[in-house]
Amino acid sequence: MSSSGRRRRNTDVADVTNATETVVADGAPTTESGTSLVTEPGQATPVLEPGKVPTVVVDDVHIVYKIHGAGSGKGSATGALSRLVSRKTSPTIREVHAVKGVTFVAYKGEAVGLIGSNGSGKSTILRAIAGLLPPEKGCVYTQGQPSLLGVNAAMMNDLTGEKNVVLGCLAMGMPYAEVRERYEGIVDFSGINERGDFISLPMRTYSSGMAARLRFSIAAAKSHDVLLIDEALATGDARFQRRSEDRIRELREEAGTVFLVSHNNTAIRDTCERTIWLESGIIRMDGPTEEVVDAYEEYMGKKK
Ligand SMILES: Nc1ncnc2c1ncn2[C@@H]1O[C@H](COP(=O)(O)OP(=O)(O)OP(=O)(O)O)[C@@H](O)[C@H]1O
């Protein structure tokens, strides 16, 4: 496996194994079957861990956003004058190096929390795992098709909740007969109809919490090899959060891997046994949730 280049691949476990075998060949521990990996914090290459099945391998990933037209002074008279004088026709491109050499491996049946202060790169790494952002350098390997569930995930605001449930399920590849079968369950889980027939109203009439609940309910209706959740739990009320946490546990038992990005440390503690702490695009800590969240809370306390 090459760990450089602007590439992202979806591979099966066998491909992941083959890919990582090359990387770990020089002295890193491998399993007998060679099918699983371990990552140690700050380590540059993913390493195999015995007896586990890898579902996501993030290998020295760098993500750089390029912002076009972000040159200083753009739009102002002085900016225009300086462009005229310097004869520059195109405005400057600015780069934000959001993720800087992140390496880790996630396994089947794991729920992994992603924490860190604002702008630390959590959502960016999630989008890279989902295949929505190409790495500037490094590779992401995944088992199956990862599904990203974010509070901003696209829903058709002018369509009713009902239509969005059907479209969302079809978009996840569910056959129409199964959508009809699961429809009631999804609406019940979301609790949208608890205070009236809201499901027949356009999504634009929903509060952000209601919309997030419906999104979660649609995504959670299907088993995913890799489910990526960005803050969805933070917006629901306490009862819905408990229900979502239970569902996340079930999804993990159905053989998937769940990633949860959240500023709600209680949700992270209750849902994930492993947590990765990112700061300024770099992994600061990766380990058991209790240890990592304790260290993060101490860091945030000190920062105040
Ligand atoms: N579309 C974008 N274009 C340019 N820069 C971006 C874009 N999205 C994010 N960034 C930058 O990348 C960095 C990481 O952002 P990201 O959203 O991944 O952080 P985060 O840890 O999820 O933050 P938060 O906790 O506030 O949601 C930040 O510096 C941010 O300004």
**35 located within any domain:** yes
Residues 91/71, Cβ–Cβ less than 8 Å: yes
Pairing of strands 137-143, 9-11: parallel
Verify that 13 and 158 share a domain, yes or no.
Answer: no
Q: Would 73 be classed as within a structural domain?
A: yes
- Same-domain status, 77 and 198: no
- What is the value of pTM for the model shown? 0.75
Q: How far apart are CA 255 and CA 186, in angstroms?
A: 21
From ligand 1's centre to the CA of 71, what distance in Å?
19
Check whether residue 167 and residue 299 sit in a common domain: yes
Report the alpha-carbon angle 142-143-144, nearest 5: 110
pLDDT for the residue 32: 39
pLDDT in tens, 3-28: 333 333 434 444 444 333 323 323 33
Residues 161, 229 within the same domain: yes
Confirm if 20 and 48 have CB atoms less than 8 A apart: yes
Q: Helices 161-171 & 176-190, crossing angle to 10 degrees?
A: 130
Digitized pLDDT (tens) for each residue of the chain, 304 residues in all = 333 333 334 344 444 443 333 233 233 333 333 333 444 445 567 776 888 889 999 999 999 999 876 655 556 677 677 777 777 655 678 899 999 999 999 999 899 999 999 999 999 999 999 998 999 999 999 988 788 876 555 678 899 999 999 998 888 888 999 999 999 999 999 999 988 899 999 999 998 888 888 888 888 888 888 988 887 555 667 788 788 888 887 877 776 898 999 888 988 998 899 999 999 999 999 999 999 999 999 999 876 6
- Residue 246: inside a domain: yes
Q: Which atom of ligand 1 is nearest to the CA of 261?
A: 22
Q: Is the CB of 168 under 6 A from ligand 1?
A: no
In the chain, the number of structural domains is 2
Calculate how far, in angstroms, residue 82's C-alpha sits from the geometric centre of ligand 1: 30
What ipTM was predicted for this assembly?
A: 0.97
227 C-alpha to ligand 1 centroid (Å): 20
Both 139 and 181 in a single domain?
A: no
Residues 139 and 185 reside in one and the same domain: no
Q: State which residues form the domain around 64.
A: 9-107+135-143
Which residue has a Cα nearest atom 20 of ligand 1? 119
Pocket test for ligand 1, best of 96, 127, 268, 277 (most atoms within 8 A of CB): 96
Closest ligand 1 atom to residue 96 Cα is 5
pLDDT of residue 50: 84
Cβ 116 under 6 angstroms from ligand 1: yes
Q: Does any domain span residue 17? A: yes
221 domain-assigned: yes
Domain assignment present for 237: yes
Closest CA to 241 of 211, 271, 272: 271
Looking at the structure, tell me whether residues 191 and 299 fall in a common domain.
Answer: yes
End-of-domain residue from the set 143, 164, 192: 143
Nearest CA to ligand 1 atom 27: 118
* CATH code of 180's domain: 3.40.50.300
If one residue of 120, 263, 284 were mutated to test the ligand 1 pocket, choosing by the most ligand atoms within 8 A of its CB, it would be 120
**What is the pLDDT at residue 292?**
97
CA–centroid distance, residue 177 to ligand 1 (Å): 39
**Among 92, 127, 143, which residue terminates a domain?**
143
Cα four-point dihedral sign 176, 180, 182, 183: positive
- The C-alpha angle with vertex 296 and arms to 292 and 301, in degrees rounded to 5, equals 150
Reduce the secondary structure of 195-251 to three states and give it as a string.
Answer: HCCHHHCEHHHCCHHHHHHHHHHHHHCCCCCEEEEECHHHHCCHHHHHHHHHHHHHH
In a domain, 226, yes or no: yes
Q: Do 167 and 94 share a domain, yes or no? A: no
Give the strand pairing for 9-11 and 282-288.
unpaired
For ligand 1, atom 25: residue with the closest CA: 118
Say if residue 248 is in the same domain as residue 294. Answer: yes
Q: Are residues 187 and 139 in the same domain?
A: no
Domain assignment present for residue 207? The answer is yes
Length of the chain: 304
Distance 120 CA to ligand 1 centre (A): 7
End residue of a domain, out of 143, 166, 200: 143
The residue among 7, 51, 46 whose CA lies nearest residue 28 is: 46
Q: Give the strand pairing for 257-261 and 111-115.
A: parallel
| Same domain, yes or no: 293 and 216 | yes
- Is the distance from the beta carbon of residue 150 to the nearest atom of ligand 1 less than 6 Å? no
Shared domain check, 208 and 139: no
